[in-house]
Amino acid sequence: MLTILRFPIIFINLFILFITSVNSQQVKNDDLSPEKIFEKVDNSVVVIIAYDNLGNMFQGSGVVLNDNGLIVTNNHVCKDANRIDIKHYNREINNVSVLKTDVVNDLLFLQTGDNSFKPIDLANNTDLKIGQRVYAVGSPEGYENSISEGIISGSRINENNVRLIQMTCPITDGSSGGAVLNSKGELIGLSVSGQHDGALYFAIPVNEILRVINIGSTPNDVTDPNKYFEIGSQANENKNYKDAEIYFTKYLENFSNDITAYYMRGYARFKLKEYRKAISDFSEVLQENKTSKSYFYRGNCYYSIKEYYKAREDYTNALEQEPDSYEIYFNRGYANFRLKKYLEAVSDWKLAVELNPDYKAELDVKIKIAQKELDNE
């Protein structure tokens, strides 16, 4: 006979309360105190210092996204900059490279190549709730890595049709580009703007940041080596040159004779200012296929490292295949000018203007300078 065990209702209710209490306590224990959150992200949030052509300085904040020193900030912090530095307490990294710009979403990605920073943990934005407690870490008014607390108060669409998180964490000058975190110390957004009088503050969701830069996957996520080329090509197209270099390198480990992959990796390295590595890749291509593009970009690399004779030689080889390329005449003119071959520089620049009149304003000035140097010889 089946025996049915019957428990008093009060016992069942107490048991349910016990389980609920345990589960609630477990969830609660997942949250960190503000002190622990700050400790967790202190080495992941940096100060961004931008200088324009007039020497004016603009300051914001930035967040470290990976262990190669990829940093995201707001584009408006650096939009007029001709030099960008990173500061973290007593450390400074000068003249960092711009990897990618997204004006619509107000995002700017910087590549430092510094692996001493700690990448911030990323959250899943779909878990956000109105009323959820959040924390902002940035450098308001220059007070480096300050933390403030608030809640998510809404989700809004701005004038560029970009979705933003509305929150009550204060955002003041210098905070833009800082980290907005959940109670686990995970990045949910990037501080972007504030209307101080109305206490309205906004952040760009982390999912949008990841979509723009196309990070979050690594070569280890891919099992088919053929996919590396496809992913690398997409990364180049998205101007995510560091990922492109990584994926083409993995592809070439399996297909070492593919000169197209060498060209694509060389292009990514050129954009990353890894000029000698790029020269090696373009030279690999030119052993098999003497294309004008490979000569052109290798020439650009040589010019960037001030090897002007080699640059001029590559530009000349490129022009044999593309005699109507105003870009190549333009660049060879600069190489000739650096070599003090002013007559040849003038000739190249006149041809560049003839082929593309848009160059006229810039090159007319350069031609006058070169002609003046000729008169002084």
Residue 214 pLDDT level (bands cut at 50, 70, 90): low
User: How far apart are alpha carbons 368 and 116 in whole angstroms?
Assistant: 48
Mean pLDDT of 158-181: 87
Q: Which of 187, 227, 203, 229 is nearest to 64 (CA)?
A: 187
**Could you report how far apart the first and last alpha carbons of the chain are, in Å?**
117
Summarize the confidence of residues 158-177 as an average pLDDT: 86
Go through the domains of the chain in sequence order and give each one's CATH number. 38-111 (2.40.10.10), 125-212 (2.40.10.10), 219-376 (1.25.40.10)
Diameter over CA atoms, the chain = 117
pLDDT level of residue 302 (50, 70, 90 thresholds): very high
pLDDT band at 319 (very low <50, low <70, confident <90, very high): very high
Residue 15 pLDDT: 43
pLDDT (mean) for 136-160: 88
Q: Regarding predicted confidence, which is higher, 199 or 27?
A: 199
CB burial class (10 A; 0-12, 13-18, 19+) of residue 202?
Answer: buried
Name the band, by pLDDT with cuts 50, 70 and 90, for residue 4: very low
Q: How far apart are CA 225 and CA 263, in angstroms?
A: 18
Asked if the model's pLDDT at residue 185 lies above 70, the reply is yes
The dihedral through the CA atoms of 248, 254, 256, 260 has a sign that is: negative
Higher pLDDT, 3 or 257: 257
pLDDT higher than 50, residue 21: no
Separation CA 183–CA 134 (nearest Å): 6
User: Residue 218 pLDDT > 90, yes or no?
Assistant: no
Averaged over 172-188, what is the pLDDT?
92
Residues 351 and 330: their CA atoms lie apart, in Å, by 8
What pLDDT sits at residue 191?
Answer: 94
What residues are paired with 110 via a beta bridge? 71, 98
Q: DSSP states of 267-284 as a string?
A: HHHHHTT-HHHHHHHHHH
Cα gap 234→324, rounded to integer Å = 30
Between 330 and 377, the more confident residue is 330
Classify residue 356 as exposed, middle or buried by CB count within 10 Å of its CB (0-12, 13-18, 19+): middle
For 259-296, write each residue's pLDDT tens digit. 999 999 999 999 989 999 999 999 999 999 999 999 99
Mean predicted lDDT score pLDDT of the chain: 85
Q: What is the pLDDT of residue 22?
A: 44
C-alpha distances (whole Å) from 291 to each of 148, 190, 232 are 56, 43, 21
Q: Is 131 left (phi over 0), alpha (psi -120 to 50) or beta?
A: left
Q: Kindly write down the DSSP assignment for every residue of 179-207, as one continuous string.
A: EEE-TTS-EEEEEEEEETTTTEEEEEEHH
The reported pLDDT for the residue numbered 53 is: 84
